[in-house]
Structure 1
Amino acid sequence: MAKFNLIQAIQDALRVALQVDERVLVLGEDVGVNGGVFRATEGLQAEFGSLRVIDTPLAEAGIVGASVGLAVNGMRPVPEVQFAGFLYPAVEQIVCHVSRVRTRSQGRFSCPLVIRAPYGAGIRAPELHGDSPEAFFVHQPGLKVVCPSTPYDAKGLLLAAIADPDPVLFFEPMRIYRAFKEEVPEGHYTVPIGRANIVRTGKDLSLFAWGTMLRVSLEAAELAKQRGWEVEVVDLRTLSPLDRETILASVQKTGRALVVHEAPKTAGLGAEIVSLINEGALLSLEAPVLRVGSYDVPQPLFSLEDICAPDARRILHGIERVMTY
């Protein structure tokens, strides 16, 4: 097996998908000649040609709208939106068309496309380049929303998303694109959409995270261990549909829970997870479920970026509040 970082794993997934299924197309701003803003598609146009790896104008609504037409006519488009904050011009297409084709046609058509979108702060980018808007799209029925945290999961989840009969929004944590490498199998494999992964077992508290926040949460869990607390860390991997069974089983075992996300705290996905736990595991709780998120402000620029997003210290403080309730 090769050792890939997250961006290499995504590139490999796209290459495998283009090799095994002639219906797969990659399109977006600069994905061809330049290989994408993060080089996720580097070399693919040279290998598969400009009719399958397509440079588009700078027009997110047009990129997604064209992908809808391709998808309903039998293709498997994988449009890239360079940053998650650039999804906003395409919201009308995503909400009014991408997510509704199956119900609008009463099942006669589906819209099998995967929108790739790097998300999150931490790379010292300008305004609108560091947003974490997953809650907007989790709220939209008809969409699946996926966010990997490791190279292995990134490749397997992306291949599963491309094979899925319905649309998937694929958030990529760009802050950890090149942070570490791990072994990734060659060829085609999938990681099931809709299943969380327990990456660290524990008996005292369940911590739920995804994307960039997983590694930070694992750091906090290690600090908590020094205080005698065994924290179970669960990587959700899929944000819609949530893996309710794994979430509830973990909380029923530990009796305490904390949710960590990079998006602003108010009305983030953490609130939905808290409600899910209250509905399904209330009698198991020894303390209120808490959330650690970014502050309720627009994503700040360079000098305040690290202060806004949760770090291991803030997460540890959240663990402490739950454990000492």
Structure 2
Amino acid sequence: MTAASPPIRVLSRYLLRPQAPFHFHSRCQHLARSQRNSSAVAGARLNNSVEYDSTPILHHTSRTALQNPELPEDVRKGQTKRINLYTAVNDALRHALQTDERTLVFGEDVQFGGVFRCTMNLASDFGTERVFNTPLSEQGLVGFAIGAASEGMRPVAEIQFADYVFPAFDQIVNEASKYRYRSGTTGVHCGGLVIRMPTGVVGHGALYHSQSPEVLFSHTPGLRVVIPRSPTQAKGLLLSAIRTNDPVIFMEPKVLYRAAVEQVPVSPYYLPLDKAEVLKQGKDITIVSYGTPLYTCSAAIAAAEKDFGCSVELIDLRTIYPWDRATVLESVKKTGRAIVVHESMMNAGVGAEVAATIQEKAFLRLEAPVKRVTGWATHTGLIYEKFIIPDVTRVYDAIKQTLDY
């Protein structure tokens, strides 16, 4: 007799519970001591936990939240509330369901709130004809979503983890992405289709709950691939994704669902899907990133600017396909140096595309080679996650090496 699968609530509690501090194996301790892994000053401690309560990446007051120039004037005059990222996703879905009867929300266990609780209470408030569970078939639920979108609905399909999207890969890259192109001037398309999925490492995801497959979709014309960094971004970008007439892959960094908390405008608003955002101005070096690694970059920048007296510009791509080349190139032509940081593997990653574009369009303005700080090209073993993804020390070292070139 096969063992029964654990209830969804048990799985959710396991994935989201606080984890014990990570301890190096004795062999790893020896290797760490024998290698010069950081050029920081002696005694420096760079790889501390991210201070989400004080990071400049998040809006900690209503005043700073409402100063965002991308918000419409009526929203900037309104109120904010302090929420985390999964609640911001819930807010966006709730507004879409309230304002457009064509909106549908479905996926595996979404009727009960989903693993990360992003769809909590939506089924009870809007009925199970519009918010409902699907069979455990990613290919099936995405195929259904494409059909619903082609009939004029606005389906938001949830893949429980980005790691589970691969059975639906053919539906996405062979059907959803080509629908408008093959329809010519008939006006038929599957715009309004949004496929949401939690992505990236969470500290203890191991082989099948830690992957970052965004680059697999960024090779496909006809799709938009969006990765928000914060609750404010998640709400505004998701509402824009539901409204656009392009199929959107919307990837939510799972570690940020509860960790990232900030003041978010109460009123609905729409953020651009085709524009990167300069989070911090600088004149000596440009760092380009997206999603969770932006917090790592911010901490590394604070340490590097203090130690080296440099000025670092930080850019959030937000949409990694099609990405905002103009904003990145303008920054690099000003600073003359560039680093790209992301969790996913280096080989054929987003960083490779950004670096190639920079050398092609801004080569004569570069003072150093474009550097990439990324995840290693390996599968994510359970106890090795912290070795694989970029940390503050690696970004700090990249800044120093690029400045010293």
TM-score, L = length of structure 2 = 0.79
**1:274-313 matched pairs, under 5 angstroms:** 274-301=355-382, 303-313=383-393
1:190 paired to 2:190:
no
Q: Does the 8 Å contact 1:176/1:212 carry over to 2?
A: yes
Q: SS of 1:320's equivalent?
A: helix
Looking at structure 1, the residues matched to 250 and 207 of structure 2 have their Cα atoms a distance apart, in angstroms, of 21
Q: How big is each residue's C-alpha offset from its partner over 1:158-190, in whole Å with a ceiling of 9 and x where there is no partner?
A: 000000001000010111111131111123210
**1:84-103 matched pairs, under 5 angstroms:** 84-103=162-181
Q: Does the 8 Å contact 2:203/2:386 carry over to 1?
A: no
| Residue in 1 that maps onto 2:283 | 203
Ranges in structure 1 where 5+ consecutive residues have no aligned partner: none
Looking at structure 1, the residues matched to 364 and 135 of structure 2 have their Cα atoms a distance apart, in angstroms, of 54
Q: Does the 8 Å contact 2:139/2:167 carry over to 1?
A: yes
Looking at structure 2, the residues matched to 140 and 230 of structure 1 have their Cα atoms a distance apart, in angstroms, of 36
Question: More deviation in 74-83 or 312-321?
Answer: 312-321
Deviation at 1:213, TM superposition (A): 0.6
Q: SS of 1:82's equivalent?
A: coil
Taking only the aligned residue pairs, the percentage that are identical comes to 48
Looking at structure 1, the residues matched to 185 and 278 of structure 2 have their Cα atoms a distance apart, in angstroms, of 35
Ranges in structure 2 where 5+ consecutive residues have no aligned partner: 1-79
Looking at structure 2, the residues matched to 131 and 311 of structure 1 have their Cα atoms a distance apart, in angstroms, of 17
Looking at structure 1, the residues matched to 207 and 120 of structure 2 have their Cα atoms a distance apart, in angstroms, of 25
1:125 paired to 2:205:
yes
Deviation at 1:125, TM superposition (A): 2.2
| Residue in 1 that maps onto 2:344 | 263
1:19 paired to 2:98:
yes
Q: How big is each residue's C-alpha offset from its partner over 1:120-159, in whole Å with a ceiling of 9 and x where there is no partner?
A: 0124124221100111000011100000001111100000
| Residue in 1 that maps onto 2:119 | 41
1:60 paired to 2:138:
yes
| Residue in 2 that maps onto 1:220 | 300
Looking at structure 2, the residues matched to 224 and 281 of structure 1 have their Cα atoms a distance apart, in angstroms, of 25
Looking at structure 2, the residues matched to 119 and 57 of structure 1 have their Cα atoms a distance apart, in angstroms, of 21
Q: How many residues align?
A: 323
| Residue in 2 that maps onto 1:29 | 108
Looking at structure 2, the residues matched to 126 and 280 of structure 1 have their Cα atoms a distance apart, in angstroms, of 39
1:156 paired to 2:243:
no
Question: More deviation in 63-72 or 225-234?
Answer: 225-234
Q: SS of 1:190's equivalent?
A: coil
Looking at structure 2, the residues matched to 197 and 150 of structure 1 have their Cα atoms a distance apart, in angstroms, of 13
Looking at structure 2, the residues matched to 21 and 186 of structure 1 have their Cα atoms a distance apart, in angstroms, of 18
Q: Does the 8 Å contact 1:26/1:77 carry over to 2?
A: yes
1:74 paired to 2:155:
no
Q: Which amino acid aligns with 2:291?
A: G
Q: Does the 8 Å contact 1:16/1:187 carry over to 2?
A: no
Looking at structure 2, the residues matched to 143 and 6 of structure 1 have their Cα atoms a distance apart, in angstroms, of 23
The root-mean-square deviation of aligned C-alpha atoms, in Å, is 0.9
| Residue in 2 that maps onto 1:4 | 83
**1:103-122 matched pairs, under 5 angstroms:** 103-108=181-186, 109-112=188-191, 113-122=193-202
Q: Does the 8 Å contact 1:151/1:181 carry over to 2?
A: yes
Deviation at 1:3, TM superposition (A): 1.1
Q: Which runs of 4+ in 1 moved over 4 A?
A: none
Q: Which amino acid aligns with 2:132?
A: I
Looking at structure 1, the residues matched to 341 and 299 of structure 2 have their Cα atoms a distance apart, in angstroms, of 13
